[in-house]
Amino acid sequence: MPHPHLPAACLYSRPSLGRLWKKVQLTCSPFVQRPELQRLYRLPSSAIRRHWGRRPYSVLALGCADGVKESLLLEKLPPPAVLLAADTNPGLARLAATRLAARTKLWRKIDLTRPLPASLARDLHPVSSNGIPIARRHPLLITLFGVLPNLPPLPLLKRVARFLRPNDLLLFSANLAPGTCGFSGALRVLSQYDNPPTRSWLESAVGRLRPRLPKGRMQFGIFPDPRQKSLARIEARWIGAKKTLTVFSSRRPTSSQVEAWIRAAPMQKVARYLDPLGEEGVWLVARRA
């Protein structure tokens, strides 16, 4: 039976935890250290332009954090007509909306463990009091960067797929297990998680829980995902004398596992961009016709 899991929102919801998370990103994230990973987020702009031509479009940036990855993409595209930045941490969502170029900017707090609220569609495509659209609906680009590792991936992709309309696009990233075996690949990247800045962030989150947890220690390891036993999941567990709590988890699928999720969502692949070391990938997908 799996151990209880701390809700992911508890790791980001307070401003102080957002700052600690940002420190982890700046000091430990391969995305910051390796320019070729940053390039992955610029490359899809060409396929998006081919798909839509010169048509106006809107952007829904889900789980956007501070918007750094989204900014790499949007600097290669014309500014969207409407940008809605949505994150579990409202301060980060507001920062992303400030950072990103758009004609109209909005930001919202969101819980990605639940279905996407209908209010998002109303924000992106406003209607009059009698239900008539105020303006013609633009194609929508949904971005989902850095989120898939931390939430059950297939249910999340299914929720997003239900939000897509014909001609909309979803661009999402996944942290991958390099190679063809997820568990041995995850072992190769374990040090990206088990390090002092990440421990400080997670232990701070544990210290803010109420009621307080009993004394314990943080331990990192690689385990099968409870929903998909073939999927490797890196976990940080708080181990007490009588209780173990999974504080953080990051799924590291292989690229073939990601593509199986796309088909099951159900969506269809438009383009794929992979890191040369096999540690990260970005997929552009659409609703299946």
Q: Where are the beta strands (DSSP E) in the chain?
A: 58-62, 82-87, 104-109, 140-144, 169-175, 216-225, 228-240, 244-252, 267-274, 280-287
Report yes or no on 96 lying in a domain: yes
First to last CA, the chain: 39
Same-domain pairing of 68 and 186: no
Q: Does some domain include residue 200?
A: yes
Residue 31 lies in a domain: no
**Residues 224 and 259 occupy one common structural domain:** no
Quick one: 242 and 259 in the same domain? no
Q: Is residue 160 part of a domain?
A: yes
Owning domain of residue 242: 181-251
With both helix axes pointing from N to C terminus, report the angle between 255-264 and 153-163 in degrees, rounded to the nearest 10: 40
Domain count, the chain: 2
Residues 79 and 188 grouped into a single domain: no
Inter-CA distances, 38 with 69, 255, 273, Å: 8, 18, 12
**CATH for 42:** 3.40.50.150
User: Residue 130 falls within a domain, yes or no?
Assistant: no
User: Is 271 part of a structural domain of the chain?
Assistant: yes
**CA quadruple 71, 179, 187, 249: dihedral positive or negative?**
positive
14 domain-assigned: no
- What are the beta bridge partners of residue 284? 171, 271
Do residues 188 and 247 share a domain? Answer: yes
CA dist 10 and 13 (Å) reads 6
Q: Are residues 80 and 171 in the same domain?
A: yes
pLDDT score for 130? 58
Facing residues of 267 across strands? 287
Residue 280 resides in a domain? yes
- Considering the domain architecture, whether residues 190 and 271 belong to the same structural domain is answered as no
Backbone φ/ψ region at 79: left (φ over 0), alpha (ψ -120 to 50), beta: beta
Shared domain for 226 and 148, answered yes or no, is no
Of 9, 287, 71, nearest in space to 160 by CA: 287
pLDDT of residue 45: 98
Q: Are residues 213 and 283 in the same domain?
A: no
User: Does one domain contain both 101 and 202?
Assistant: no
- Tell whether 164 and 150 lie within a shared domain: yes
104 and 73 housed in the same domain: yes
pLDDT of residue 32: 94
Say what the pLDDT of residue 96 is. Answer: 98
Residue reference for tokens 């600097």: 75
For residues 161 and 163, what is the distance between their CA atoms, to the nearest angstrom? Answer: 5
Q: Which two tokens stand for residue 237?
A: 């567990």
Local confidence pLDDT in tens for the 289 residues of the chain: 678 999 888 998 788 998 999 899 999 999 999 999 999 999 999 999 999 999 999 999 999 999 999 999 999 999 999 999 999 989 999 999 999 999 999 999 999 999 999 899 888 986 545 555 555 679 999 999 999 998 999 999 999 999 999 999 999 999 999 999 999 999 999 999 999 999 999 999 999 998 888 899 999 999 999 999 999 999 999 999 889 999 999 999 999 999 999 999 999 999 999 999 999 999 999 999 7
Instruction: Note the pLDDT of residue 8.
Output: 85
Q: Note the pLDDT of residue 12.
A: 84
What pLDDT is stored for residue 125 in this prediction?
80
